[in-house]
Amino acid sequence: MTAQIIDGKALAEELRQGFKARVEALTAKGHKPGLVVILVGADPASEVYVRNKVNGCLTIGMHSEKITYEATVDQDTVLNKIAELNADPNIHGILVQLPLPKHFDEEKVLEAIAAEKDVDGFHAENVGALAQGNPRFIPCTPYGVMKMFEKGNVDLTGKEAVVIGRSNIVGKPMALLLINAGATVTVCNSRTKDLLSHTRRADILVAAVGKPKFVTADMVKPGAVVIDVGINRLPDGKLCGDVDYAGCLEVAGQITPVPGGVGPMTITMLLANTIEAAERKAGL
Ligand code: GUN
């Protein structure tokens, strides 16, 4: 059996087309949605992500700007800028690109962002709301994955879901969303003992481990839904996910490709969260 492909690129495009009318309506009422992305340092991958985030906003008529700092900038400079943006009525979303340089206290920076402008959903208040099953902002990557389940008509209720990866950005919020959707959830990591015994019983398998081709066909239950969150750069410059796509394609029931899978959905849901923030502020 060859798996059905869940096309994230097409779904992202479809959703972004739908956002345009909401952005126009907000703009007409004087609430043009605005996102600021803060980048500290010059990590090449982060630079690409940040550029795509800003361009994603501009393409659908939103306001967006990037603020960059040298890697050596002191934390207070960034905290002061965040305070200024918290008070700016034209800015609805503030995102600090992670990771930050080692001399930063990441938690302190994320907590400095006003919860109602935390379109990443990383502020403790928003993480708590998600954990309680009453989310205000859902972290963009797992939010995108949930939209892909919706698109693929994947019913999560009562299903065995296994997430490989326990990061604050993907693994943990993904697990919470699956729990909230009624799945039976196991969170593994790259060092989980007898990982195979977990993955092989997964109806839903989410790979967010950051290791190229970590999930091989023998780890996948026939017919399972396999979601590849990984974006790894191979020595030859090609992008590759955490899943051995060619092998798993023959075993899975549904699968997401890399590129063209989860990646385009992440930025799409960032746009969704920023529009949502603007709509709330406008009282819509
Ligand atoms: N670095 C990698 N993914 C993300 C993300 O979703 N948000 C932020 N702020 N930084 C990231």
pLDDT for res 38: 98
Distance CA 126, CA 137 (A): 6
The ligand 1 atom nearest the CA atom of 266: 6
The ligand 1 atom nearest the CA atom of 139: 6
pLDDT for res 1: 77
The ligand 1 atom nearest the CA atom of 141: 6
Distance CA 122, CA 124 (A): 6
pLDDT averages per 10-residue partition of the chain, 284 residues = 95 98 98 98 96 98 98 98 98 98 98 98 98 98 98 97 98 98 97 98 98 98 98 93 98 98 98 98 96
Q: Locate 111 and state its tokens.
A: 């907590």
Q: What domains are there in the chain, each with its CATH number?
A: 29-115 (3.40.50.10860), 140-263 (3.40.50.720)
Residues with C-beta less than 6 Å from any ligand 1 atom: 95-98, 120, 140-141, 169
Q: Is the omega angle on the peptide bond into residue 33 within 30 degrees of 0, that is, cis?
A: no
Spatial CA neighbour of 215 closest among 182, 269, 171, 255? 255
168 CA → ligand 1 middle, Å: 10
Q: In terms of pTM, does the model score above 0.95?
A: yes
44 CA → ligand 1 middle, Å: 14
218 CA → ligand 1 middle, Å: 31
pLDDT for res 128: 98
pLDDT digits (tens, 9 = 90+) for 91-100: 999 999 999 9
Q: Locate 9 and state its tokens.
A: 């690129």
